[in-house]
């Protein structure tokens, strides 16, 4: 294969926007997108609620500046303010660009793009397509990429960056259909592999594939991870599966109710009520449950999300997917009954450290979307700001890589490296004697994270979590891939994903133990206050000689001074 100008790993919203923009920047470039699932099955397609932009359609007095302030406040002042400026200023343009290429936004009566209220936002500014926003955006982008001639390598599993000293010369990936390892020599590589919240197993709203592969590949290549301790728990996951009930359900007016029939958010966010930011609403639900005001069931404790007062018409027109999911996964029709919900691990604020142009510390390697940390979400992301992030920074990373690709002349990836990779995969199938199984390790990882590195954190719990992760890493060295076939070996892929999750879980737990304060989604029972003097900074985790080395980076401030965060 001749060398690529750009190889993009990931066919979600970030990867596809990057591909489309790179093609637009320079149509002569040779651009490939690799994805372990068909692009339109990426997790972006599960996004229900919408994307924020201060269009001022619903609230005429909404402004970009208000969006900027809400985002910085929502981040508990950990977001870099110059990056937030870019995110929010580009938002109206990107929503209209998507409209121009065919995204069917829901409309208001005057035919302008409809906007709904979302948590932590001062004005209704979330643009949506019913409750299938991500799905429609992804379809639109995929069509455009096909039309523009982007090459797709679907069902390819990225394994490693190929390094020449400290420089990247491209990517090594496995063709899932044949089990063969292949080299993708490339001048530039963009990681757009999505988040890592699936490491929380069935306490997660994420797709099965959100296992942080891109972050782990970059981490093993020596690229720093930033703010990994910040994992967002979404307040309303379905009780049994952790599947998401969009914030749009509360945006449309849904109530959260405890077993005493009380709208308990009046205790925690008297003004914003159910539309407080996610970290606060999740903690409130968890507190209600811990203090005995939740419902009990064999599938765990929960509270109610009540939509009945919204009426059948609204539920059927604006929240059809929520109704379907409640029926299918809980046996509950929200038109007639409240939905049982509990917080669920939902989003990774942390990720590959990048500048505002998507560049990492390694020449020719970029990252965008949920796998990157620019950082625009800081310690807590606002609902509707992630779709926006993947579009805005996906586009920027695609543009930057297209402009810079000409600067790099990577040597070809040597055949020996491909063979080494293949041998390593094979060795996992040929282990003899005592061996470990994927299933047990995977479940134990999820459990220790949910218990010890969950919503409420504390030194002894986090230490236990770190110990468990280290033990699981040790046991992983003896894992055996029991399926030895070449074609769609899902057991092998699960094992590879598990390795990635174990590497990243360590960075999450170690970061959480180090950060002795409470900020945004990171709540330490033993350090309940935000400590700006000691901790108003980003944490970095870099792998050096196979050891996690902790570092830090200042937060870029701007017009907004640190303030207490109340709602
Ligand atoms: C249920 C749910 C609802 C959400 N709702 C909203 C919402 O309403 N509004 C909002 O703003 N945000 C929402 N979010 C968050 C938002 O959808 C995600 O953060 C965003 O879509 C991530 O996009 P992405 O392009 O970065 O990654 P993804 O869409 O996750 O795509 C990742 C891509 O990487 C590929 N990939 C991963 N690993 C590999 C590998 N090893 N080799 C090859 N390819 C690989 C995958 O195949 C996939 O194509 C929601 C998230 C969830 C889980």
pLDDT digits (tens, 9 = 90+) for 315-346: 999 899 899 999 999 999 999 999 999 999 99
Q: What angle do CA 483, 191, 3 make, to 5 degrees?
A: 90
Per-residue pLDDT band at 2 (split at 50, 70, 90): confident
- Is 50 close to ligand 1, i.e. is its CB under 6 Å away? yes
Look at residue 425 in the predicted model and tell me its pLDDT.
94
Look at residue 277 in the predicted model and tell me its pLDDT.
86
Cβ atoms of 262 and 348 within 8 Å: the answer is no
Look at residue 202 in the predicted model and tell me its pLDDT.
84
Distance 371 CA to ligand 1 centre (A): 9
**CA-to-CA distance for 433 and 250, rounded, in angstroms?**
54
Angle, helix 438-452 to helix 459-476, in steps of 10 degrees: 170
- Is 15 close to ligand 1, i.e. is its CB under 6 Å away? yes
Of how many residues is the chain composed? 567
* 422 has pLDDT over 80: yes
Query: Residues 77-100: what's their mean pLDDT?
Result: 98
How many CB atoms sit inside 10 A of residue 429's CB? 16
Query: Could you say which architecture CATH assigns to the domain 415-554?
Result: Up-down Bundle (1.20)
* 431 has pLDDT over 90: no
Per-residue pLDDT band at 394 (split at 50, 70, 90): very high
**CA-to-CA distance for 266 and 422, rounded, in angstroms?**
58
- Of the chain, the percentage scoring pLDDT greater than 70 comes to 100
- Of the chain, the percentage scoring pLDDT greater than 90 comes to 92
Question: What sign results for the dihedral spanned by CA atoms 344, 216, 552, 378?
Answer: negative
Look at residue 392 in the predicted model and tell me its pLDDT.
98
Residue-wise pLDDT for 525-542, tens only, equals 999 999 999 999 999 999
Q: What angle do CA 427, 430, 434 make, to 5 degrees?
A: 110
**CA-to-CA distance for 125 and 121, rounded, in angstroms?**
8
Q: Which CATH class for the 238-344 domain?
A: alpha beta
pLDDT mean across residues, the chain: 96
Distance 46 CA to ligand 1 centre (A): 8
Distance 15 CA to ligand 1 centre (A): 10
Query: Residues 147-165: what's their mean pLDDT?
Result: 96
How many CB atoms sit inside 10 A of residue 113's CB? 21
- Is 194 close to ligand 1, i.e. is its CB under 6 Å away? yes
Residue 546, helix vs strand vs coil: coil
Residue-wise pLDDT for 246-261, tens only, equals 888 999 999 999 999 9
* 379 has pLDDT over 90: yes
Per-residue pLDDT band at 119 (split at 50, 70, 90): confident
Mutate to test the pocket of ligand 1, among 121, 134, 389 (most ligand atoms within 8 A of CB): 134
Determine if the pTM surpasses 0.85.
yes
Instruction: Work out which ligand 1 atom sits closest to the CA atom of 500.
Output: 41
Name residue, tokens 């372990």: 36
Q: In angstroms, what CA-CA distances link 273 with 282, 344, 567?
A: 12, 19, 9
Look at residue 512 in the predicted model and tell me its pLDDT.
98
- Is 193 close to ligand 1, i.e. is its CB under 6 Å away? yes
- Is 42 close to ligand 1, i.e. is its CB under 6 Å away? yes
* 1 has pLDDT over 80: no
Question: What sign results for the dihedral spanned by CA atoms 111, 117, 123, 129?
Answer: negative
Query: Residues 430-441: what's their mean pLDDT?
Result: 91
Counts for the chain of helices (H) and strands (E), in that order: 16, 21
Residue-wise pLDDT for 20-37, tens only, equals 999 999 999 999 999 999
Q: In angstroms, what CA-CA distances link 359 with 148, 164, 396, 397?
A: 24, 18, 10, 7
* 4 has pLDDT over 80: yes
Cβ atoms of 13 and 44 within 8 Å: the answer is yes
Query: Residues 428-435: what's their mean pLDDT?
Result: 88
Catalytic residues: 234, 250
- Is 209 close to ligand 1, i.e. is its CB under 6 Å away? yes
* 481 has pLDDT over 90: yes
Angle, helix 415-429 to helix 490-514, in steps of 10 degrees: 90
Instruction: Work out which ligand 1 atom sits closest to the CA atom of 497.
Output: 41
- Is 344 close to ligand 1, i.e. is its CB under 6 Å away? no
Q: 130, 124, 136, 131: which is closest to 98 by C-alpha?
A: 136
The domain ranges of the chain are: 238-344, 415-554
- Is 500 close to ligand 1, i.e. is its CB under 6 Å away? no
Ligand 1, atom 44: closest residue by C-alpha: 35
Instruction: Work out which ligand 1 atom sits closest to the CA atom of 385.
Output: 11
> 488: Cβ–Cβ under 8 A, 6 or more apart, which residues?
176, 177
Look at residue 87 in the predicted model and tell me its pLDDT.
98
Look at residue 48 in the predicted model and tell me its pLDDT.
86
Distance 387 CA to ligand 1 centre (A): 9
The two three-digit tokens of residue 479, written as one number: 């894992």
* 421 has pLDDT over 80: yes
């Amino acid at each position: 294969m001749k060398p690529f100008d750009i190889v993009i790993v990931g066919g979600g919203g970030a990867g596809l926007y990057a591909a489309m923009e790179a093609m637009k920047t320079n149509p002569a470039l040779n651009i490939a997108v690799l994805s372990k699932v068909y692009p339109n099955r990426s997790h972006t397609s599960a996004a229900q609620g919408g994307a924020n932009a201060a269009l001022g359609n619903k609230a005429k007095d909404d402004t970009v500046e208000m969006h900027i302030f809400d985002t910085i406040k929502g981040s508990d002042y950990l977001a870099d303010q110059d990056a937030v400026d870019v995110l929010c200023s580009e938002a109206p343009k990107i929503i209209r660009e998507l409209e121009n290429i065919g995204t069917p936004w829901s409309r208001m009566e005057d035919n302008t793009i409809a906007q709904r209220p979302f948590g932590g936002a001062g004005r209704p500014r979330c643009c949506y397509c019913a409750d299938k926003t991500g799905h429609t955006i992804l379809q639109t982008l995929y069509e455009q990429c096909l039309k523009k001639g982007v090459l797709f390598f679907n069902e390819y599993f990225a394994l490693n960056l190929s390094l020449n000293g400290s420089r990247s010369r491209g990517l090594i990936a496995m063709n899932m259909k044949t089990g063969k390892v292949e080299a993708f020599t490339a001048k530039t590589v963009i990681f757009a592999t999505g988040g890592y919240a699936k490491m929380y197993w069935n306490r997660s709203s994420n797709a099965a594939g959100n296992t942080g592969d891109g972050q782990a590949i970059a981490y093993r290549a020596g690229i720093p991870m930033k703010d990994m301790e910040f994992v967002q728990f979404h307040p309303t996951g379905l009780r049994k599966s952790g599947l998401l009930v969009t914030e749009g359900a509360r945006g449309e007016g849904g109530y959260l109710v405890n077993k005493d029939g009380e709208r308990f958010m009046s205790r925690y966010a008297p003004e914003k009520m159910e539309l407080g930011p996610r970290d606060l609403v999740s903690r409130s639900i968890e507190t209600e449950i811990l203090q005995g005001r939740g419902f009990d069931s064999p599938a765990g404790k929960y509270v109610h999300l009540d939509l009945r007062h919204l009426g059948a018409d609204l539920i059927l027109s604006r929240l059809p997917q929520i109704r379907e999911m409640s029926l299918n996964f809980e046996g509950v029709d929200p038109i007639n009954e409240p939905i049982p919900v509990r917080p669920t691990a939902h989003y990774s604020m942390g990720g590959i450290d990048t500048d505002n142009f998507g560049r990492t510390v390694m020449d020719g390697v970029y990252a965008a979307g949920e796998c990157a940390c620019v950082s625009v979400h800081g310690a807590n992301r606002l609902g509707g700001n992630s779709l926006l992030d993947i579009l805005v920074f996906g586009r920027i990373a695609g543009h930057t890589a297209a402009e810079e690709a000409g600067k790099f002349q990577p040597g070809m990836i040597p055949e020996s490296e491909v063979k080494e990779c293949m041998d390593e995969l094979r060795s996992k199938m040929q282990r003899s004697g005592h061996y470990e199984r994927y299933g047990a390790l995977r479940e134990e990882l999820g459990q220790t994270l949910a218990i010890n590195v969950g919503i409420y954190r504390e030194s002894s719990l986090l230490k236990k979590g770190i110990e468990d992760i280290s033990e699981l890493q040790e046991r992983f060295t003896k894992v055996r891939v029991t399926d030895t076939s070449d074609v769609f070996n899902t057991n092998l892929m699960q094992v590879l994903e598990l390795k990635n999750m174990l590497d990243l879980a360590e960075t999450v737990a170690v970061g959480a133990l180090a950060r002795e304060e409470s900020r945004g989604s990171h709540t330490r029972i033993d350090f309940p206050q935000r400590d700006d003097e000691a901790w108003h900074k980003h944490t970095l985790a870099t792998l050096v000689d196979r050891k996690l080395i902790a570092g830090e980076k200042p937060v870029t401030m701007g017009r907004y001074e640190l303030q207490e965060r109340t709602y």
